[in-house]
Amino acid sequence: MFTYLKPDVRERLVAAGKLVRISGDGSCIDNENSTDEDALIINLLGPIPLPLRLAGNSYQVNWYAAVRSTELEKVEGLAAALRKSGGQNLFADLAPSMAVNSAVVIGNPENLENPLVRVHSNCLTGDVFGSQRCECGAQLASAVSRIADDPSGGIIIYMAGHEGRGIGLWAKAATYLLQDAGENTYQANQSLGLPADSRDFTDAAALILYFLGNRPMRLLTNNPKKIDDLSSAGLTQMTTQGHVAGVSKWNKRYLSAKQSWGHKISDSDIAT
């Protein structure tokens, strides 16, 4: 994914307050250059008014796009090479995936008590194609609906680099074939020599801290790893609410594997 902003456009967006830089603790960074190359710095673009329609329901939300400064620095170099060569023969250099995450703000959660928060790992097959091999698409639609209906509103952090619990779409396709041969979703990752779950929630925590601070909030999740990772990153006032959705005969085995891996899913949750 080639992500680039002309410098003059970037300056206009910064001046308008539509492009800010935040640190790992959610605070704004005024200076353009960080003295610590290892520091987490996220560029945040928005708000962008976005009318949504999911599962037959319409919503009005504000969307923000977020990307690490280290990723943008790589793109700046590619853009310079693109201009120098006149744009020829660079497709392969521009094709590598870049994780551009999103924040979807529903209502005014920054002004209200105990907002709802969903950190959602992207899933092309579930979120876009509507696959029932997982519950991801149903979870996303349910989270938007629950937050929109809640008086406190809330926020969805959509993690673009999390396909297949962090292994990417190509490897995920291979795991589906392994699952069809009898392995469960975690075993299939490990059969490829990859972690069962390699997702990093550091950026998600930084975005939540930026929008909401470290204050009471309700996290929509069944995943204890997500809870532990976000807590370790500075979000210490979370309570959790179960978030089971889209259960069908097609994903019951998948959900049972999650249950055995420690997800807070009961037998009654996945009864079909």
Which are the catalytic amino acids? 197, 199
Q: How many CB atoms lie within 10 A of CB 253?
A: 13
For residues 201 and 229, give the distance between their C-alpha atoms in angstroms, rounded to a whole number.
6
**C-alpha–C-alpha distance, residues 190 and 193, integer Å:** 5
Coil vs helix vs strand at 29: coil
Between vectors from CA 176 to CA 201 and to CA 264, what angle results, nearest 5°?
Answer: 45
Count CB atoms within 10 A of the CB of residue 66: 24
Residue for token digits 């406190």?
152
* Helix, coil or strand: residue 107: coil
Nearest-angstrom CA–CA distance, 82 and 77:
9
Which residues have CB under 8 Å from 33's CB, separation 6+?
none
**What are the φ/ψ torsions at residue 192 (nearest 5 degrees)?**
-85, 0
